[in-house]
Structure 1
Amino acid sequence: MPDRNPLPRAILFDWGGTLMEDDSTSTVAAAGSPDIRRVPGALEALIACRPHATICVATNAMVSNDAEVWDALSLAGLAGGVSHVFSRQSLGFGKQDERFWLHVQATLGLMPQHMLMIGDDFDGDVAAPARAGLNALWLNRETQERRVGTGYDTLFSLTELPDRLFG
């Protein structure tokens, strides 16, 4: 777990590649995809985190706006307990833009150090929020490479998350 704050008040999950299997070539909104599949451990991670923190989705999805992400969350059985969706399509800027994190912070009423971002894209899901003062976990399901730095660490499976945060 990153060292800025051991218990986050809000946990933000990336959508594609973190909660749902990602087809980055798709030009169809997530809810319109014929094959919505959860990442292994996604539902269990959300259920384990819900009693401890506000659960949100923060996505740079190219095609899906907030409403379409909500629809996809519902279809994947992940909507229960998610409080907010923050999407690049609805905000007009993505996670690499500091305004994204300022909007999240203002909406949730939290200081950045009280938020944790989890995602599979190191630059957008880890480096960008860490620059904005959030803690972050890089979900690296592809290799055994571990990246650790100020405010961020590596997670190899969502099944590790509950013990990592609350164990």
Structure 2
Amino acid sequence: MNKATKSTVSTKLTKTVLFDWGNTLMIDFPDAQGKMCDWETVQEVSGAQALLAQLSKHHNIYIATNAADSSKGDIIRAFERVGLSQYIDGYFCKASIGLSKYDSGFYPAIIAKLDIEPQEVTMIGDTLEKDIYPALEAGLQVDWLNNEGAIADTHLPIVEVQNLTQLLEFINE
């Protein structure tokens, strides 16, 4: 596992970057019910605005979420509520592509819609099983937002950061 250290992290992201939604860019409050866009309180993950503002200058940014209850419009409304929608070029969810992240065709469907090669895309997410391993299997580059300090027993090419601020610092070096 590549820890986010100066000697091991590649600060070059691909031109196209996919982000997970819940607990990667916006906090998924465990007690909240229904669609995030309708929650009384919505909140960005610390560092999300600064990271997206910087990346959006030179990268195409998309959301790739497993949210089953929310349509593309619902997801956009949630991002609008925290001021992040201005940085997002598009949204991929179960409702828009007909597949969940657990389906092996999820990432290939996104790649086909974007009409680019898998290795030209970086997936950034917080869950190994939904975000990282399937993206690797589909040929994407990956950055794991390990904000819970989990341990992964793997020798796969996974860049690991503990928070979005750390990712931004390495990108800016």
Q: Note whether the superposition's TM-score is higher than 0.5.
A: yes
Say if 2:90 is the partner of 1:84.
Answer: yes
Superposition deviation, residue 3 in structure 1:
8.5
CA distance in 2, matches of 1:147, 1:158: 22
Larger radius of gyration: 2
Give the secondary-structure state (helix, strand or coil) at the position aligned to 1:137: strand
> Equivalent residue of 1:117, what SS?
strand
Query: 1:16 maps to what in 2?
Result: 22
Q: Quote the residue 1:131 is aligned against.
A: 137
Mark the runs of 5 or more structure 1 residues left unpaired by the alignment.
none
Q: How many residues align?
A: 167
Q: Distance in 2 between matches of 1:110 and 1:152?
A: 21
In structure 2, C-alpha distance between the alignment counterparts of 1:99 and 1:140, rounded to whole Å? 24
Structure-1 separation of matches of 2:49 and 2:153: 25
Deviation at 1:149, TM superposition (A): 3.9
Cα displacement string for residues 48-76 of structure 1 (whole angstroms, at most 9, x for unaligned residues): 11122100111001311211001101011
Q: Which runs of 5+ in 2 are unaligned?
A: none
Q: 1:3 to 1:43 in 2, by over 3 A?
A: closer
The answer on whether the counterparts of 1:146 and 1:153 sit within 8 Å (CA) in structure 2 is no
Q: Distance in 2 between matches of 1:89 and 1:24?
A: 22
Matching residue's letter, 2:133: A
Secondary structure of the residue aligned to 1:12 is strand
Per-residue CA shift, 1:80-120, capped at 9, x if unaligned? 02111001233221123232212211222211111111111
The residue aligned with 1:158 is 164
CA distance in 2, matches of 1:116, 1:128: 12
Does structure 1 conserve the Cα–Cα contact (< 8 Å) formed by 2:99 and 2:106?
yes
Distance 1:72 1:147, change over 3 A: farther
- Name the residue aligned to 1:56: 62
Percent same amino acid at aligned positions? 29
After TM superposition, list the pairs within 5 Å mapping 1:51-130 onto structure 2: 51-130=57-136
1:32 aligns with 2:72: no
- Where does residue 13 of structure 2 map in the other structure? 7
When residues 5 and 21 of structure 1 are mapped into structure 2, their CA distance, relative to the original with a 3 A threshold, is: closer
Residue 48 of structure 2 aligns with which residue?
Answer: 42
